[in-house]
Amino acid sequence: MLKRISLWLSTGLFSLSILGLLVSTTLLLLVRPTAVKTWVEKSGTYSSLPHALVTEAAKKQSTEGSDAVRFDSPLVQDAAKEALSPDFLRSSTATIVDGSAQWLEGDTPTLDFSVNLQPAKQTFVDSLGKSLFERYDKLPACAPNTAPTTTDPFTIDCQPAAGVDIEAVIAEQKETLLASKDFLPENSLTASSVMGNNSAFATNSAIPAAYQASRIAPVIFALLAVISGLCIVFLSSSKRAGLRKIGWRLAITGGVALIATTLAVIGLTQTKSLSTKQSDDAMITIYKDIVAGLLNAVSQDFAKVGFLLAGITLLLGIILLFTTRGQKSKDVNASKKPSKPAPALAPAKIPAIATPTATPTGQPATPKPAPRKPRRTLIQ
């Protein structure tokens, strides 16, 4: 009875260990700094983020009723793309991801990173000022004795003969843009500015502890699987029976993992679709392309890792079942095969013993001597 209970516990522990090994290994391979950087790269964030930030600034500007800077102008869009170049965004992403990884790995006590945004903002206003000058230079001269209806460098329609110092107007526009809180409001992007009211998150020691535990979880689950697997083999009625139990658990766990991975990929795909169908009032609408790209990149990598690990587990189970099944059929055939009867031994020939015959007088007769063979004479 105790042996059966131990076997039942060992098989349950083995199944849970294999499942935990699959989950923890998937997280280990996916939640890495290099993987996160790759997701951001594949998502198209570096090309979509400038437009999203300017769109958000224009939306905030229209809500507040301010028109100091025309964020809806194509010139502003072009300047933002030049300031927030892919190289700048890539290096900024690396700074944020690496700083977060150091905190999660326990190298720093708190979440800490800093991205200097002042050079990007200065590049933005300088590029915009240059574009405004080029636009003004291409305007025709105003008609004699006619002044432009506005001195706004974004909308002025002709060059007056006098009365408008375009350099001073553009310089004022640049100063206004540098002081604006609508686009890149901070001079540097730090962990505290990102967290905002959730600053306790950056000092929570439980999060790094959980992350570090997840790094060694695959080793722990692998050891448990090996130990429980050995117990199954030794507690089973035979080695073959124990191996078949292990094979069945591997096959079932691999099949369950395949189904779970498929459902997770479908869920990520549906979430990506929902993110692109938000109303115009939702904040996520501005960043929907970025969110959809990130979800798509995560879904692709998750599908690759999940299907690979689940497929390997299922294949190992099938191979183990197939090999042990071959041994069983061989043993059964050997037991069912009729044994050949042993060949009958020929009876040994016993030489006849000559018995002396009695004479009429009752005395045994003298045996007659054997006749001699005639000699052969050689003819010379």
Q: Which of 106-110, 231-235, 340-344 has the highest mean pLDDT?
A: 231-235
In this prediction, what percent of the chain has a pLDDT beyond 70? Answer: 78
Sign of CA dihedral 156, 160, 162, 166: positive
Three-state secondary structure call for residue 367: coil
pLDDT category at 256 given cuts 50, 70, 90 is: very high
Q: Are 256 and 52 a contacting pair, CB within 8 Å?
A: no
Pick from 9-18, 186-195, 327-336: least confident: 327-336
Task: Please compute the mean of the pLDDT values over residues 208-222 and round it to a whole number.
Answer: 92
Letter string b/e over residues 146-173, b meaning 16 or more CB atoms within 10 A of that residue's CB: eebeeeebbebeeebeeebebeebbeeb
Q: Greater confidence, 278 or 357? A: 278
* 30-53: pLDDT as tens digits: 999 999 999 999 888 888 888 888
Neighbours of 307 (CB within 10 A): 15
- Please tell me the predicted confidence (pLDDT) of residue 329: 45
Residue ranges covered by each domain of the chain: 45-214
Q: Greater confidence, 163 or 356? A: 163
Q: DSSP for 271-300?
A: HHHHHTT--TTSGGGTTHHHHHHHHHHHHH
Helical pair 239-275 and 2-30, crossing angle rounded to 10 deg: 40
- Please tell me the predicted confidence (pLDDT) of residue 39: 92
- Please tell me the predicted confidence (pLDDT) of residue 380: 39
* 269-318: pLDDT as tens digits: 888 887 667 655 555 566 777 888 888 999 999 999 999 999 999 999 99
Whether the per-residue pLDDT at 335 is higher than 70: the answer is no
Q: Are 284 and 344 a contacting pair, CB within 8 Å?
A: no
Q: Are 191 and 202 a contacting pair, CB within 8 Å?
A: yes
Q: Supply φ then ψ for residue 338, to 5 degrees.
A: -65, 140
Whole-number average pLDDT of the chain: 81
End-to-end CA distance of the chain: 102
- Please tell me the predicted confidence (pLDDT) of residue 347: 52
In this prediction, what percent of the chain has a pLDDT beyond 90? Answer: 32
- Please tell me the predicted confidence (pLDDT) of residue 234: 92
pTM as predicted: 0.72
55-64: long-range pairs with CB below 8 Å, 24+:
55/286, 56/286, 57/180, 57/182, 57/183, 59/286, 60/182, 61/182
- Please tell me the predicted confidence (pLDDT) of residue 328: 46
pLDDT category at 146 given cuts 50, 70, 90 is: confident
The secondary structure of residue 374, as a DSSP letter, is P
pLDDT category at 12 given cuts 50, 70, 90 is: very high
Helices (H), the chain: 2-30, 33-42, 45-64, 74-83, 86-104, 118-137, 166-179, 191-195, 206-235, 239-275, 288-336
